[in-house]
Amino acid sequence: MIKVVIAEDDFRIAQIQEGFLKRVSDVSLVGKALNAKETLNLLEQEEVDLLLLDIYMPDELGTDLLQKIRGDYPNVDIIMVTAATEKAMLEKAMRFGVFHYLLKPVTMEKFIEIIEEYKRKKELFNSRDEIDQSIIDSFFGTSVQAVTNQKDLPSGVDRLTLQKVKEIMFELKGGVSIEEMGEKMGASRTTARRYLEYLVSINVCTAKHDYGIVGRPERKYYLI
């Protein structure tokens, strides 16, 4: 379970972000802060994995909190959610290793996409005691298998759904059948097969027949 704090001085925006988070599985909101002081108090009181941090808060800039957060709470990951378009703000955030920088207004689709990406990378990192270059490439988003734009995808394959399929496969480390994927996706076997075969075509997963104990062999898919 990913434990999240929202630091946002506009309570209406905080409520919207809270609603977005409810659409993401395995994510729990542990608190909301209206200013910098409340943000630090929550980090002190709660076990937090991810901080959604605004920049323009009434008592202190969110970017000015970064050094203190990195020093006192090094295990807290940060996503900036802000209206600040100044290059200097982005540069400072990057220097303190924020996971992402989202510009308001943030659409629900973009918000969920970034939270899901954060989950995937955190799970990937925590699943290994040692790393290799493929893990590093995947974590930093430089894998040749990464698909970032809808225009790169074939007809009938949606980027967000494709990411969800990969998330499901990561959770089911023992492989997944077309029927199981359809159930997890809430989609038909035809749709599940389309996404799984696409992942095979770009070498993200492999497929083989599982003969089981009785009956005809079942095609199962495994992440590479």
pLDDT tens digit sequence for 189-201: 999 999 999 998 8
Q: How much is the average pLDDT of 19-34?
A: 95
Q: Work out the burial of residue 7: count CB atoms within 10 Å of its CB; fewer than 13 is exposed, 13-18 middle, 19 or more buried.
A: buried
pLDDT tens digit sequence for 136-178: 776 776 444 444 455 568 888 888 888 888 888 877 767 899 9
Residue 212: the pLDDT is: 58
* Type of residue found at 91: E
For the chain, which domains are there?
A: 2-121 (3.40.50.2300), 144-223 (1.10.10.10)
What distance in Å separates the CA atoms of residue 89 and residue 103, rounded to the nearest whole number?
12
Residue 47: the pLDDT is: 95
